[in-house]
């Protein structure tokens, strides 16, 4: 989670409650579809996941990924994530997604679930280049997040002068938290990544959206070896052949 202390505190306190959000009956069809497409998308990839939380989606993509380094700023959620079983080599690290250090790892893909919505609109332009720099060979990037659906989503409490929106959320201990939660449109997301991205794909479901794209090779580090480059060419060809939902 980001450096916003209120948001960090909220997710630390919500750690044991977090996965209840995935039990909402009206969202089950969407979740099943997302799990299927993510497993296909990350097949064979070395993945960097940011804001991994309790490892819910880490566990899903581990079914087909080659390896995952999953990060979050909160130890509380990482402890829950570490206790789960995974289908590939998964390592957890404590890290602030807004202050990513240059990694010595070789990642072919990046993943962030329900993270974009917690970024202020003014933060996106600084966050994206930092995130993109973690990947090699025109890597694959995937963002997934919520749509606002009246009656299912927590109501929006207010908006600020920049257009960011906020929700009031109550936890089991009775505490009330005001949380930044934006709901960007497809056009906003496409515009935000357009300088770095090629082959942008947008999938919109009733309750969620999925943004997938490949980085332009000139905008990130060079391939460390020909083998990794060949794997990405193969992965990209397979991705092109997949039919979107």
Determine the pLDDT at residue 118: 96
On the question of pLDDT at 213 being above 70, the answer is: yes
Question: Do the beta carbons of residue 95 and residue 115 sit within 8 Å?
Answer: no
67 belongs to a structural domain:
yes
Determine the pLDDT at residue 3: 40
104 belongs to a structural domain:
yes
On the question of pLDDT at 133 being above 60, the answer is: yes
168 belongs to a structural domain:
no
Residue 91, φ and ψ in degrees, nearest 5 = -120, 140
Determine the pLDDT at residue 215: 95
On the question of pLDDT at 22 being above 60, the answer is: yes
Q: How far is CA 230 from the centre of its chain?
A: 25
Given pLDDT bands bounded at 50, 70 and 90, which one contains residue 138? Answer: confident
- Our count of domains for the chain comes to 1
DSSP conformational letter for 226: H
Q: Any idea which of 87-91, 201-205, 224-228, 231-235 has the lowest mean pLDDT?
A: 224-228
- Sign (positive or negative) of CA dihedral 236, 186, 35, 244: negative
Determine the pLDDT at residue 231: 54
- Rounded CA separation 174/135 (Å): 41
190 belongs to a structural domain:
yes
> Domain containing 50: what range?
5-151+184-241
CATH number at residue 194: 3.40.50.150
Contacts 24+ apart (CB under 8 A), 66-70: 67/91, 69/93, 69/103, 69/105, 69/107
The answer to whether the predicted template modeling score (pTM) of the entire model surpasses 0.85 is yes
Give per-residue pLDDT as tens, 83-117.
999 999 999 999 999 988 776 678 999 999 999 99
Per the rule left: phi > 0, alpha: psi between -120 and 50, beta: everything else, 233 is: alpha
157 belongs to a structural domain:
no
On the question of pLDDT at 198 being above 90, the answer is: yes
176 belongs to a structural domain:
no
Give per-residue pLDDT as tens, 164-185.
999 999 999 999 999 999 999 9
171 belongs to a structural domain:
no
């Amino acid at each position: 989670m980001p450096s916003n202390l209120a948001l960090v505190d909220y997710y630390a306190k919500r750690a044991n409650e977090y996965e209840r959000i995935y039990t909402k009956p009206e969202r089950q069809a969407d979740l099943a579809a997302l799990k299927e497409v993510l497993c296909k998308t990350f097949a064979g990839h070395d993945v960097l996941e940011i804001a991994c939380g309790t490892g819910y989606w880490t566990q899903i993509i581990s079914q087909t990924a080659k390896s995952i380094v999953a990060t979050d700023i909160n130890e509380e959620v990482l402890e829950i994530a570490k206790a789960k079983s995974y289908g590939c080599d998964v390592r957890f690290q404590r890290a602030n997604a807004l202050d990513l250090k240059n990694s010595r790892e070789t990642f072919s893909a990046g993943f962030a679930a329900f993270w974009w919505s917690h970024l202020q609109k003014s933060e996106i332009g600084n966050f994206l280049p930092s995130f993109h720099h973690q990947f090699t060979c025109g890597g694959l990037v995937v963002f997934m997040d919520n749509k606002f659906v009246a009656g299912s989503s927590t109501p929006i409490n207010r908006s600020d002068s920049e257009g960011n929106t906020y929700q009031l959320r109550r936890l089991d201990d009775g505490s009330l938290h005001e949380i930044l939660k934006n709901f960007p449109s497809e056009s906003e997301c496409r515009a935000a990544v357009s300088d770095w991205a090629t082959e942008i794909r947008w999938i919109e479901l009733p309750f969620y959206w999925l943004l997938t794209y490949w980085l332009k090779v000139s905008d990130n580090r060079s391939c460390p070896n020909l083998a990794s480059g060949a794997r990405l060419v193969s992965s990209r060809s397979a991705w092109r052949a997949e039919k979107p939902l």
